[in-house]
């Protein structure tokens, strides 16, 4: 039974970046204003996430790692209505803990006692009072130590770190009011200030050269609104990785959105070069299906043509009004 559980866990938790994604979502759901992510060896050796969110009491902590437990939906009606929080399946901590050695330390806001829980391969090893600041720290070590087959699928440290970096970058961009930081092997990769504005977040994440080459996008057709930043046509990279699109505040990968952005640049981009873009597309919740595949972050619009046109118009207008 334990083996089946671990294999199932390996399907959900593919790689360090999937661990990081679930833990950052938990921190954001917990109302954190700071989320610090530190990984070792691309996250394969260790992932540590610290937040200043609402924290957990000893009882809540004990419950948090049980299968199918969540504090985020109270009944089935919530599920049907769609929930405002990012995670709601109540299985991330349990699942991650089944394929790693995990330690959680947490203290509720305003509480006077913290708790530490040690979890290994799906079992609680120890739970005891511990001194710690308000908020939560989750440490995940030796990912897939008990599922060697899954461990073999991991790529190089550099590739695994790229995936982690991509995930943390998207959450940082989507949450300018949260101070998000990323460290790799004790070296700071980026740290945002959480001041609330996208421009300063882009500066922290992508650096000054890119930040200075960005122009604002602000567009509303009534049905579709588009806002964010896009780069001058000569500030490009050879990968699409810096073209980030969010639909109703959720990061998505959608070819239709990418192509819509590229269309706006017309013939101005060199071959195989891609601009920087951080674009937030808002549509009525019932005009979009973001759950086509939760893990792949795909999206399907009821009226794809309309959305595509809106994004192209929005970016074109931004470039034109800046003389580009
Ligand atoms: P879900 O996020 O789907 O509820 P998880 O397994 O990710 O399921 O988390 C289980 C529960 O543990 C959450 O519902 C929440 O109550 C609690 N929890 C997890 N991470 C945190 C955190 N960083 N701060 C406060 N509570 C947390
Ligand atoms: Mg969760």
pLDDT digits (tens, 9 = 90+) for 53-110: 999 999 999 999 987 666 765 554 455 444 444 444 678 899 899 999 999 999 999 9
Under the phi-then-psi rule, with left for phi > 0, alpha for psi from -120 to 50, and beta for the rest, what region is 7?
Answer: alpha
Choose which residue among 25, 71, 79, 107 to substitute to test ligand 1 binding: the one with the highest number of ligand atoms within 8 A of its C-beta. 71
Whether 3 has a pLDDT exceeding 70, the answer reads: no
Tokens standing for 201? 């977040």
Between CA 118 and CA 8, with CA 182 as vertex, the angle to 5 degrees is: 45
Tokens standing for 91? 């299985």
Looking at the chain, list the stretches that DSSP marks H as alpha helix, in order from N- to C-terminal side. 2-12, 16-29, 58-64, 76-81, 92-98, 148-152, 157-174, 198-206, 208-212, 255-264, 304-321
Q: What is the ipTM of this complex?
A: 0.99
Task: pLDDT band for 14, please (50, 70, 90 cuts).
Answer: confident
The environment of the single-atom ion ligand 2, i.e. residues with CB closer than 5 A, is: 26, 87, 92
Please report which ligand is nearest the Cα atom of 94.
1
pTM equals 0.91
Radius of gyration of the chain (CA): 21
Please report which ligand is nearest the Cα atom of 30.
1
Choose which residue among 23, 26, 104, 135 to substitute to test ligand 1 binding: the one with the highest number of ligand atoms within 8 A of its C-beta. 26
Chain segment 156-186, per-residue pLDDT in tens? 999 999 999 999 999 999 999 999 999 999 9
User: Greater confidence, 82 or 258?
Assistant: 258
């Amino acid at each position: 039974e334990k083996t089946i559980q671990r294999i199932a866990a390996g399907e959900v938790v593919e790689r360090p970046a999937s661990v990081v994604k679930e833990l950052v979502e938990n921190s954001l759901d917990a109302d954190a204003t700071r989320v610090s992510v530190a990984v070792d060896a691309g996250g394969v050796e260790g992932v540590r996430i610290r937040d200043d969110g609402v924290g957990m009491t000893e009882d809540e902590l004990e419950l948090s790692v049980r299968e199918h437990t969540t504090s985020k939906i109270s009944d089935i009606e919530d599920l049907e209505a769609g929930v405002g929080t990012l995670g709601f399946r109540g299985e991330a901590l349990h699942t991650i803990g089944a394929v790693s050695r995990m330690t959680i330390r947490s203290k509720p806001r305003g509480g006077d006692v913290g708790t530490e829980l040690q979890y290994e391969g799906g079992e609680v090893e120890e739970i005891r009072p511990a001194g710690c600041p308000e908020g939560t720290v989750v440490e995940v070590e030796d990912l897939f130590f008990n599922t060697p087959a899954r461990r073999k699928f991991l790529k190089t440290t550099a590739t695994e770190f790229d995936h982690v970096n991509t995930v943390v970058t998207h959450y940082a961009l989507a949450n300018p009011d949260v101070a998000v930081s990323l460290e790799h092997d004790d070296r700071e990769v980026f740290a945002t200030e959480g001041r609330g504005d996208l421009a300063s977040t882009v500066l922290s994440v992508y650096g000054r050269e890119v930040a200075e080459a960005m122009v604002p996008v602000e567009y509303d057709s009534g049905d579709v609104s588009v806002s964010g930043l896009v780069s001058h046509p000569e500030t490009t990279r050879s990968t699409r990785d810096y073209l980030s699109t969010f639909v109703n505040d959720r990061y998505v990968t959608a070819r239709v959105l990418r192509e819509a952005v590229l269309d706006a640049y017309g013939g101005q981009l060199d071959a195989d070069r891609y601009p920087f873009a951080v674009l937030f597309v808002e549509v009525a919740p019932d005009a979009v299906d973001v759950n086509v595949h939760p893990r792949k972050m795909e999206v399907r619009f009821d009226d794809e043509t309309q959305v595509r046109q809106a994004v192209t118009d929005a970016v074109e207008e931004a470039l034109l009004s800046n003389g580009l």
